[in-house]
Chain A
C-alpha cells in the first residue's frame, strides 16, 4: 500500500500509469493541465509516449490511433476542449476504440470561467455526439475516488471496447487529500470479451460480449472504418440491416453489462423519507447534510452516483420510491435531476438545488435548510383536511 497526499488531477495521472498507460496526447487547458504535467514528467521515463498535440481534435484522434494499435492511451481536457473532442469520441464509439477521456469540468458555456468548478457537462458527456451511441461516464468525488475510478475506467474501456469519460471537476481536480494506492493494480478480470483473433473484429454473436481487438501490424489485415461496416469491417453505407445491427450491438454491448458498469453508494437511513441524490464534488456537502439532518431526527439518506451513464434506472427507482422528498444538488442548472424525475412517482417531491459559477459550492447548510423547508411544506399539506 502506498499512501500519498495528492490532488485529484495527480491521482488520475498516477492511476492511469498504474493501469498500464503507455500513450498520452493532450492540449493544455485549465483546470486539467496538472494531469498532463505529471505525465509529461513520468511517461517518458516509464517506457511510454507523451505528445503535446496541436489541438484537442488531434489529441483525441492520436489517442484513438494508439488504442487501435493496442496500447493503453488517454487524454485529459476541460469544457471547450471536450466540445472539440466530441467528433473523435463518436468515431471511437464506432470503431470500438478503448480510450479514456478525463474531463475536469469548469463553468461554461463558451470559455466561461476557466478556473471555477461546475458540473455542467453531464448531458454533453452522455449525448454530445451525433447518432445513436452509448459511452460510459464515471464521476469521482475525491482524489481517492479519482484514482479508483480512473483504474476502473481503463478496465471498462478495454473490457468493453468502449470510450470511458472520467467526469471530474475543478474541486476534485485541485483538491488535495490523502490517497491510498495498492502496490500493484490487479489485472482486470477476464471474460468481458473474446481474445480469439480469428473471430470477426466488429461482430459478436452475443451482443453483451465485445469482439476481439487484434493489434495492428501482426498480419490480421484489419479493416477499420468509422463508416457503417459489417462484422469484418467492410464498409456498407447503404443497407438498413447492417447499420441497424451495428448501432444496436454497440448500445447493447454497454447496456447488457450495466451491472458491471453502474456503480453507486448509499449512505444513511434505510427507506429514508428524504433522499439526496448527488455525484462528484457535490456529494460531499450532501453527506454532511445527511449527518446534520440525522442528528435532528430526520430519516434521510444519500445516494451517491459514481456512474452517470449508462444510468441504471431500476437501481435509482429502488431508492427514490421510498422517499417522500428527493433533493438533487448540482453545480449546474439541473441535469441529473431529470433522471430522478423519470423514476419519481407523482407523490414524490423532487427538489433541485442549483448553483454555478465563481467557484462557489453548494454548502451543506443550504441543503439542510432546503430539506427542512420542503419537509415542512409536505407535512403541512398532508395535515390539511
Chain B
C-alpha cells in the first residue's frame, strides 16, 4: 500500500508535535522540505551530531520543536551567538542556525555580521519572509518600499537591507540567495554547505514571502504567488528581492582552523603579551 508509506522526512521529525503551527500555505514548509531532501541525499539517516539553533520568529519554529535532533530555541536575535558558543565548545558538532529577517537582520545583525567576519564554522539559513510574521506583520529591514504594514500604515519608506550582499562582502565562505520557487537550487545549496563547503561561515537566504501578511496584502493566493516567484526567480538573476544565485563560494580556513593554528603557535612560542 503505497499510500501508507511514511514520508521520507518523518525520520527527521518529532512526529508527536505534528502538525506544525504554521499558517496553511506557509513557505516555511518549502524550506523544511529542501533541508530534509538535502539530508536525505547526503545519506544522513539520523541527525545525531547536528545541533539546530534558532531565535524568535516563525522560521525559528522550523527546528524547535519539529526537528528530531538537539535543538536550542534561544532569545530573539541571539541564535548566532549561542550557536557560536556550542560550536566552539564542541567543534565536532554540525551547528545550523535557522532564523528570520527580524531575528537575524534586525535585532541579531551584529552577531550575524561578526560571525561572518570571523568565518565562524556555522551554516545560517535566513528565511526572509519580508515582515515580522509572528507579531502581526510589522515592517522589517527587508520589507519592500511602499508596502503597507501595521507599523507602516501609509507604505514602508525605509530603504531595504540586502542581507545576502552584505554578508557576501565579509569574510564568509559561502553565500547564496534563492527564493522558494528555486527548490532544487536551494536544496543543492544546503547540500553544498554541508559537504563541499563544510567549513567557515555559510549563509543561505531564502526569499519566502509571508503568506498571511505579504501575499494576502498583495491580494494573491499562495498558488498565484509561487507562480509569480517561478517567473521572477527562475529566469532572472536580478529580481526585486536582489541578486538570486550563489553569490560566493570559497574554501578559506574557517574560524576553528585559524584558532587551532593560533593555539599551536601559542604552545610552541610560549610567552604571549
Known: A71-B90, A234-B17, A235-B65. A66 touches B71 (CB 8 A): no
Residue among B46, B82, B86, B88 with the most chain A CB within 10 A?
B82
Cβ A217 vs Cβ B85 within 8 A = no
- Does A36 interact with chain B (Cβ within 8 Å)? no
Range class of the A interface residue count: 35 or more
Cβ A91 vs Cβ B74 within 8 A = yes
Cβ A23 vs Cβ B75 within 8 A = no
Stretch at the interface among A45-53, A191-199, A298-306: A45-53
Cβ A88 vs Cβ B75 within 8 A = yes
Chain A, Cβ-Cβ closest to B271: A41
Chain B, Cβ-Cβ closest to A72: B89
Q: Which of B220-273 contact A (CB under 8 A)?
A: 259, 262-263, 266-267, 272-273
Known: A45-B267, A220-B70, A226-B75. A53 touches B81 (CB 8 A): yes
Which residues of the partner chain A approach B111 to less than 8 Å between Cβ atoms? 54, 57-58, 61
Known: A54-B110, A225-B73, A227-B73. A71 touches B89 (CB 8 A): yes
Range class of the B interface residue count: 35 or more
Known: A65-B85, A216-B51. A221 touches B75 (CB 8 A): no
CA distance A44 to B273 in the complex (A): 13
Known: A44-B263, A234-B17. A54 touches B114 (CB 8 A): yes
Residue among B72, B75, B83, B89 with the most chain A CB within 10 A?
B89
Mark contacts of A60-102 with chain B using CB atoms, 8 A cut-off: 1 yes-contact digit, 0 otherwise. Answer: 0111111111110100000000000001100100010000000
Cβ B82 vs Cβ A62 within 8 A = yes
Chain A, Cβ-Cβ closest to B256: A49
- Does A223 interact with chain B (Cβ within 8 Å)? yes
Residue B78 contacts which of A57, A220, A234 (CB distance < 8 angstroms)? Answer: A57
Give the secondary structure class of B's interface: mixed
Known: A44-B263, A58-B110. A22 touches B89 (CB 8 A): yes
Cβ B263 vs Cβ A23 within 8 A = no
Mark contacts of A1-45 with chain B using CB atoms, 8 A cut-off: 1 yes-contact digit, 0 otherwise. Answer: 000000000000000000000110100000000000000110011
A113 → B minimal CB distance (Å)? 27
Residue B81 contacts which of A61, A70, A221, A226 (CB distance < 8 angstroms)? Answer: A61
Cβ B88 vs Cβ A49 within 8 A = yes
Residue B85 contacts which of A73, A219, A224, A234 (CB distance < 8 angstroms)? Answer: A73
Q: Which of B11-66 contact A (CB under 8 A)?
A: 14, 17, 46, 48-49, 51, 53, 64-65
Cβ A224 vs Cβ B71 within 8 A = yes
Known: A58-B110, A58-B114. A217 touches B81 (CB 8 A): no
Cβ B110 vs Cβ A49 within 8 A = no
Cβ A62 vs Cβ B81 within 8 A = yes
Known: A45-B267, A57-B81. A222 touches B70 (CB 8 A): yes
- Does A366 interact with chain B (Cβ within 8 Å)? no
B96 → A minimal CB distance (Å)? 13
Residue B272 contacts which of A41, A58, A216, A226 (CB distance < 8 angstroms)? Answer: A41
CA distance A233 to B71 in the complex (A): 10
Give the secondary structure class of A's interface: mixed
Chain A, Cβ-Cβ closest to B87: A65
Known: A44-B263, A58-B84. A222 touches B110 (CB 8 A): no
Residue among B73, B85, B88 with the most chain A CB within 10 A?
B85
Cβ A64 vs Cβ B82 within 8 A = yes
Q: Which of A203-256 contact B (CB under 8 A)?
A: 215-227, 233-235
25 A-B interface contacts by CB (under 8 A) = A22-B89, A23-B89, A41-B273, A44-B259, A44-B263, A44-B267, A45-B263, A49-B88, A54-B110, A57-B111, A62-B82, A66-B85, A66-B88, A69-B51, A69-B90, A73-B89, A216-B70, A216-B86, A219-B46, A222-B70, A223-B64, A224-B64, A224-B71, A224-B72, A225-B73
Nearest 7 pairs between A and B by C-beta? A65-B85, A62-B85, A61-B81, A66-B89, A225-B73, A65-B82, A69-B89
Beyond A65-B86, A217-B93, A221-B69, 16 extra complex contacts between A and B, CB < 8 Å: A44-B267, A45-B267, A53-B114, A61-B75, A61-B81, A65-B72, A65-B82, A68-B72, A69-B90, A95-B72, A216-B51, A216-B90, A217-B51, A219-B46, A222-B71, A234-B17
